[in-house]
A = this chain, B = another copy of it.
Amino acid sequence: MNWMREHISKPEIIASVFWIIIKIVLIYIIARIIIKIADKTITHMMVAREKSPIKIDRRRSNTISILIHNLISYTVNLVAIMLILGQVGFNLGPLLAGAGVLGLAIGFGAQSLVKDVITGFFIIFEDQFGVGDVIQIDQFKGTVEEIGIRVTRIKSWTGEVHIIPNGNIKQVTNFSTYNSIAVVDVSVAYDADIDRAMELLREIVTHVHERTENIVKTPEVLGVQMIGNSELKIRVIAECKPNTQGEVGRILNAEIKKHLDAHGIEIPYPKVVTYLKQEKVEGN
Q: A interface vs B, CB < 8 Å?
A: 1-8, 12, 15-16, 19, 23, 75, 78-79, 82-83, 85-87, 90-115, 117-119, 122, 126, 128-129, 136, 138, 140, 148, 150-151, 155, 157-165, 167-168, 170-175, 177-181, 183, 186-187, 190-191, 194, 222-227, 229-230, 232, 235, 239, 242, 245, 247, 250-251, 253-254, 257-258, 261, 266-282, 284
A149 to B: closest C-beta gap in Å: 10
A-B contact sample (12 more), CB < 8 A, given A136-B160, A158-B180, A163-B172: A78-B98, A92-B93, A96-B98, A109-B117, A110-B118, A140-B171, A155-B177, A159-B179, A162-B174, A224-B253, A224-B254, A275-B278
Distance between Cα atoms of A119 and B110 in the complex (Å)? 9
| Contact status A279-B270, CB under 8 Å | no
Quick check: A96 and B93 within 8 Å, CB to CB?
yes
Describe A's contact surface by its main secondary structure.
mixed
Is A230 within 8 A of B86, CB to CB? no
How far, in Å, is A244 (CB) from chain B's closest CB?
Answer: 11
Residues of B within 8 A of A261 (CB): 191
Instruction: Give the residue name and chain of the B residue nearest to A109 (CB).
Output: B114
Q: What would 6 A/B residue contacts be, using CB atoms closer than 8 Å?
A: A79-B98, A159-B178, A162-B174, A163-B174, A194-B254, A271-B272
A90-B83, A180-B159 given as contacts; is B258 within 8 A of A269 (CB)?
no
